[in-house]
Amino acid sequence: VQIDDAEERASVAQAKASVAQASAKVEQLRRVGSIVATEALRQAESNVLRTQNDLERAEKLASTGALAPSELDNTRRAAEIARAQKTAAEAQQVSSAPMGADSRVALTALLQAQAQLAGANARLAQTKIVALQSGAVLTRSVEPGDVVQAARTLLVLAADADAQLVFQPDERNLAWIKMGQRARASADAYPQQVFDAEVSYIAPSVDPQRGSVEIRLRVPAPPPLLKPDMTVSIDLLVESKKAALTLPSETVRGAATATPYVLAVENGRLVRKDVRLGIRGEGTVEVASGLDEGAEVVVPDGQLVAAGARVRTERD
């Protein structure tokens, strides 16, 4: 996605000009500044020597009365001015040296201009939005000429990467889920096309709003029919056991508590049977202990029943 970059390109051009100007100033000080300062100091030293000789000659003439006092004062002032000019020339030479004040100021200006150029280039690069990897465009939310703002979604892509299935089971099932577990899945649109998957990622935290945890499954050989955002059914094998005693999940009361139980029928009356649960599946739960095989249990039908009530059994 290309955003209008006219203003950013102008900023880059301006920053480049500032860098060139600062570079020229540094080069000027390096090649010309020190030479000019040295010559100025040499001329100032020559003027000091000349005015000092003039002063000595004027003092001799003034001592004999051959020179007016005013002329002597003028000669002294000329000598003082020459010494001041020499001092200024010496300071200028020090300042124009490679580590002098002028050089440091010029180098600082150059670094500042280079930093501004880097910032301008960075802003220019931000006008071209490039995907981190190739993929297929699922949705496009902008058209040429649209005004966009930061954080607005422009395109939604499906990356060309390994296929993944994502689901969010209840956090109570987290203890049963392990990395590398095998699963069988099928798209709801093609329920007969079953394919393999395995757990490749378990989120490190639980969604506090939903009480669920994100699980991702890698699909080693995704079928061609699998599309992004399709609804799939997943059977995750967390454990298997032969000859297990199982019941429909709805027959177990208080399954989420520490004391689950079922209502069994004995001698025509309801009896509470505390049970210990094992593996829990989709619509089915294992009874590890507390109930004998062949026992008759009550399937809830919306009626309020309690232990001790007399009932008559009906088989489906």
Could you read off the pLDDT of 254-284 as tens digits, one per residue? 888 889 999 898 888 889 999 998 887 778 8
Within 10 angstroms of residue 117's Cβ, the number of other Cβ atoms is: 20
Local structure of residue 196 (DSSP, 8 states): E
Share of the chain above pLDDT 90, in %: 17
Query: Which structure tokens are listed for 25?
Result: 């100033």
Domain segments of the chain as ranges:
6-125, 131-161, 162-236, 239-316
pLDDT at 195: 93
Angle between helices 69-95 and 34-63 (to 10 degrees): 160
Burial 26-43 (b: 16+ CB within 10 A, else e): beebeeebbeebeebbee
Instruction: Give the mean model confidence (pLDDT) for residues 151-164.
Output: 79
CATH 3.40.718.10 matches 162-236: no
Contact 20, 26 (CB under 8 A): no
CB-based contacts of 101: which residues, under 8 Å, 6+ apart? Answer: 94, 95
- Tens of pLDDT, residues 67-100: 777 887 888 888 788 878 777 766 666 666 555 5
pTM of model > 0.75: no
- Tens of pLDDT, residues 15-70: 999 989 888 877 766 665 566 667 676 777 788 788 888 777 877 777 777 777 78
Mean pLDDT of the chain: 83
Determine the Cα–Cα distance for residues 305 and 265; give it in Å rounded to an integer.
12
Contact 1, 142 (CB under 8 A): yes
pLDDT at 166: 92
Determine the Cα–Cα distance for residues 297 and 291; give it in Å rounded to an integer.
10
Determine the Cα–Cα distance for residues 153 and 132; give it in Å rounded to an integer.
15
CATH level 2 (architecture), domain 239-316: Beta Barrel (2.40)
Determine the Cα–Cα distance for residues 273 and 275; give it in Å rounded to an integer.
6
pLDDT at 32: 58
Q: Out of 10-14, 214-218, 277-281, which region has the weakest mean confidence (pLDDT)?
A: 277-281
pLDDT at 316: 60
> Alpha-carbon torsion 206, 208, 212, 215, what sign?
negative
CA–CA distance from 295 to each of 81, 165, 210 (Å)?
123, 40, 37
